[in-house]
Structure 1
């Protein structure tokens, strides 16, 4: 049974999330304070965290920034704000998904299931154990590790899946739609703009100068290409 931490100070919303998650077989705990939520996430074992943006003591964005380097589990931000800048900020700080209030219980459950399935794939080793290598990047599919310049660099599940897709399909231009479908799935709820956010996150880890990328190149009007050389 997956354990889910809900960091939400609105009692009605927290109760709604708790009820529907537990109806679908998940174990939940509610924390109504930002700092207390960080403490809970750091000291207890959870499989996924749902984080409201507006919280007492610290906001949801700060929570993502504080715990992402320590935890690789999926984090879903919930917010009443539908601005693209907030979505980009949340995803840039390490959230795996962003849900706008009001949302339907079925949408919440679908997103939770999707993130847990992706994280399970992240932890599961691949049978073929193929290692991909370009430039100074070594991607080990079996160990789910990325070595850059001889040093292991932490990648989230989504970042790893996207980099692996690029390295398995180099020198081909992939549109945002193709990337979204291949990484998140055709039936996934979400915004195609998420692709650009993850491209930027990966570039910061693999490019010498992310502002003028040479490895993952933008092909204007078409998409992105991973250059082998």
Structure 2
């Protein structure tokens, strides 16, 4: 069955080019030109992935991503013409799995789409198999792709889930940001702030006190490691 991708961009030329490249890879692509329509369609019938422009009429991309994240863990790749790091970080903090800065190579975007979909569907391969990971009140069911804390469901993006499960599979082992980009994202290059933002979001969801993290701890000069509480 082909993957359904919703491309959201108010520039018809950009949307057409993106759609053409994604369709070549066998995906079924729908295009919309404003945030309100994108949100309506995505909430009614969630796609397998959304390519989302940041600057949109009616409702901006950040709002669309935030609202979508409240309901469904749909992978999101954000397109932005803004080059400042703060804009990319805000997009990631809102829940985007990846971002591409305009102008961009359509082929590069298509490869990013494949990477995000592979991670969303193949968490078991990234995290070392199926099974259940437990750490006190935190339970990660790798096979079901589900996380609970104190019995309550924790909504994670596919990248957040992969990162958490990978760290829990390798407790007390320090990883650099570059190593995590390679092992979890599958990138041999990239912006290390991507890892930093995802760690920050994870801490807000799985730490007893995100301001004083005890599970996902910083190893100064290296990166991060997972410290089980139980």
User: TM-score range with shorter-chain normalisation?
Assistant: over 0.9
User: Offset at 1:110?
Assistant: 0.3
CA RMSD of aligned residues (A): 1.9
Match of 1:221 in 2: 221
Distance 1:51 1:225 in 2: 32
CA distance in structure 2 between the partners assigned to 1:72 and 1:28 by the alignment? 19
Q: Give the whole-Å Cα distance in 2 for the aligned partners of 1:159 and 1:38.
A: 22
CA distance in structure 1 between the partners assigned to 2:56 and 2:138 by the alignment:
39
Matched-pair contact (CA < 8 Å) for 2:176–2:224: yes
Q: TM-score, normalised by structure 2?
A: 0.92
Map of 2:111 onto structure 1: 110
Structure 1 residues 131-150: aligned runs within 5 Å: 131-150=132-151
Structure 1 residue 161: deviation in Å? Answer: 1.1
Deviation at 1:181, TM superposition (A): 0.9
**What is the deviation of 1:228?**
2.1
The whole-number CA distance in structure 1 between the counterparts of 2:68 and 2:54 is 15
Asked if 1:163 corresponds to 2:161, the answer is no
Distance 2:152 2:67 in 1: 23
Structure 1 residues 174 and 127, CA, compared in 2 at 3 Å: closer, same or farther? closer
1:222 Cα deviation from its structure 2 partner:
1.3
**TM-score of the superposed pair, with normalisation by structure 1:** 0.92
Runs of 4+ in 1 over 6 A off after TM superposition: none
How many residues were matched structurally? 227
Distance in 1, matches of 2:110 and 2:143, equals 29
Q: Deviations over 1:174-198 (max 9, x none)?
A: 11111111101144x6322100111
Question: Which residue number in structure 2 is paired with residue 50 of structure 1?
Answer: 51
1:41-81 deviation digits (Å, cap 9, x = unpaired): 11234211111111111111111011112121211110111
